[in-house]
Amino acid sequence: MCGIVGYVGEQEAVPILIGGLAKLEYRGYDSAGVAVLQGEKIEVRRSVGKLANLQKSLKEKELNGTVGIGHTRWATHGKPSEQNAHPHRSEGCVLVHNGIIENYQPLKQQLENEGYKFHSETDTEVVAHLIDKYFQPGVKLAEAVRAATKDVRGSYALAVISEREPGTMIAARAGCPLVVGTTATASFVASDVMAMLAHTRDVTYLEEGDLAVVTATDIHLIDIEGRPVKRKLTKITWDASAAEKGGFPHFMLKEIHEQPQTILDTMRGRYSYDTGEADLPDIGLTPKEFAAVGRIWIVACGTSWHAGLVGKYLLEEMVRTPVQVDIASEFRYRDPLVEKDDLFITISQSGETADTLAAAREAKEKGARVVSIVNVVGSTLARESDGVLYTHCGPEIGVASTKAFTAQLTALYMLALHLGRVRGTLAVADGKAWLDRLVRLPVLVEQVLGREAEIVAIAKRYYKKRNFLFLGRGINYPIALEGALKLKEVSYIHAEGYAAGEMKHGPIALIDKEMPVVVLAPKDRLYEKTVSNLMEVKARHAPVIAFVAEGERELGKIADAVFTIPDTHPLLSPILFTIPLQLLAYHVAVLRGADVDQPRNLAKSVTVE
């Protein structure tokens, strides 16, 4: 996820662009850049790293002009570098882009064949040359942009300027947010309203396929077919701080609600429905090398380790290969029996966790092939791995990992599909069936999020309790661990996750009426056993909070609180069970007045041992 801004007016553009980008840094910060129409030429300035580096460069050599665009990057294609930083330019235009162009490779090939020269590794630069291709004499910039967007597949929010139409900026969106704002003498474009709040509160949110022709005094909207459209004018009443969180009170809640989009973005462009295959170009191993893998390791920390535990169930079921999962801080000091040609998977949101990095280095030394599931493009773990599978969920600001976790699970589903097809344990029909189920997940997640009020009601009943127990079986045992971790790290309540079948081996001694027990009870082959665990707990007077499959009636009569989960394949249920547990932890923490986004004693990335 990146941040884009644009300005057309009477004032110097640079201060307005930089001020807007500063409000968007939460969307990405591995590089930044601006382009300004200075006289008759568009000048571009870009810097790697935080926005401050760009500001320093602009102080050393000013850019002057009243029309400009700006960008703060969260890399998806092409490592963080000045060369890959936006804005990108072609002969006829300069643009900034947020989103993922799924078919950028074939488009790039075609444009190179037609003589276009590329200077970056990004998918964005393809759009700049595509616009240029349509921007022939007599063609308006808006028309060229519209024609180009009809060729691309994927998601985009664009702001485009050209020396050939000096007072005009074109904005277009599909799959990524874009908002335009106005004053009497200027117009603004941004990924997020927060970037323009200092100048205007009169905004219009573009809708799917919209394109805006923006001048200092007018904004004209058309759809992707070129027909004029009308969109509602909105008066923003938020204060700036609330706006940075998209109107949510905390980044954690905002990121919980981003999950339908981030799950989709992690899948986007990575599968071919016709062949029922996942297409993972950066995975680093050839199908032949994958076919030769004897054993799979998954090593990580914290929430990422929980994702690894889910991965074990997935890979053993879909790929029929033994999977060994380890906590990184344990693995690295055990002189582990890693064999040459083992597949060693590490999972890390930050890509900088010291224990996970050390584990990956140890595995490499022992001859294993390392593939990492990482969120930060160009992070140390990504750079040191043989292959990488990025979770395209954008920066995760809340210390408690939420959207990164479900993106990690999504990446694991894609990897399991890839391996299953490569190793022949999944036929074409199986692959297509998996893809059908996976592409429906964001819709089901949206449905669960839409019932947040039910979770708030549960949180209100139990937020004063001092201990919680979370029980799950099979592929949802790791989700019991994750639900407990979420609750303890944001609300400071002691919570434990346990395999439900383990209750009688000790933990049941803890049970009393003061200990709420959360039970995850999907309608799978372990359902009856989970119900008996629930009855054991109920018989000892503990309040039972049951998360059950849609349509389940029985448990509703026994449990003290019930939340139903939409029906999906048992192997996909972890993503759906996670969402209400994240909401439960969040709302309990808020009710207890905890510092939800920065819980005490925690850091977003544990770069020390």
CB of 330 to ligand AGP, least distance (A): 14
Spatial CB neighbours of 422, under 8 Å, sequence gap ≥ 6: 287, 290, 291
Q: Give me the residues paired with residue 603 across strands.
A: none
CB of 448 to ligand AGP, least distance (A): 19
Residue 446, number of CB atoms within 10 A of its CB: 15
Q: 343-348 and 296-300: which strand pairing? A: parallel
CB of 356 to ligand AGP, least distance (A): 5
Q: Which residues of 103-131 are buried (b: 16+ CB within 10 A; e: fewer)?
A: ebeebbeebeeeebeeebebbbbbbbbbb
Which is nearer to ligand AGP, 156 or 405 (by Cβ)? Answer: 405
Spatial CB neighbours of 52, under 8 Å, sequence gap ≥ 6: none
Nearest to 296 by CA among 280, 316, 274, 276: 316
Across 218-270, the runs of DSSP E, i.e. the strands, are 219-222, 233-235
Q: The tokens of 78 are what?
A: 């092409």
Which is nearer to ligand AGP, 219 or 590 (by Cβ)? Answer: 590
CB of 400 to ligand AGP, least distance (A): 4
Residue 56, number of CB atoms within 10 A of its CB: 10
Which is nearer to ligand AGP, 182 or 408 (by Cβ)? Answer: 408
Helix (H, G, I), strand (E, B) or coil at 297: strand
Which is nearer to ligand AGP, 259 or 348 (by Cβ)? Answer: 348
Residue nearest to ligand AGP (CB): 302
Q: Write the single-letter amino acid at 536.
A: E
CB of 555 to ligand AGP, least distance (A): 28
CB of 277 to ligand AGP, least distance (A): 27
CB of 269 to ligand AGP, least distance (A): 23
Binding residues vs ligand AGP (CB under 6 A): 301-304, 348-350, 353, 356, 399-401, 489, 605-606
Q: Write the single-letter amino acid at 416.
A: A
Which is nearer to ligand AGP, 66 or 350 (by Cβ)? Answer: 350
Is the distance from CB of 459 to CB of 433 less than 8 angstroms? no
Which is nearer to ligand AGP, 303 or 410 (by Cβ)? Answer: 303
Whole-number Å distance between alpha carbons of 410 and 406: 6
Spatial CB neighbours of 599, under 8 Å, sequence gap ≥ 6: 399, 400, 489, 490, 492, 589
Which is nearer to ligand AGP, 47 or 304 (by Cβ)? Answer: 304
Residues with catalytic roles? 2, 604
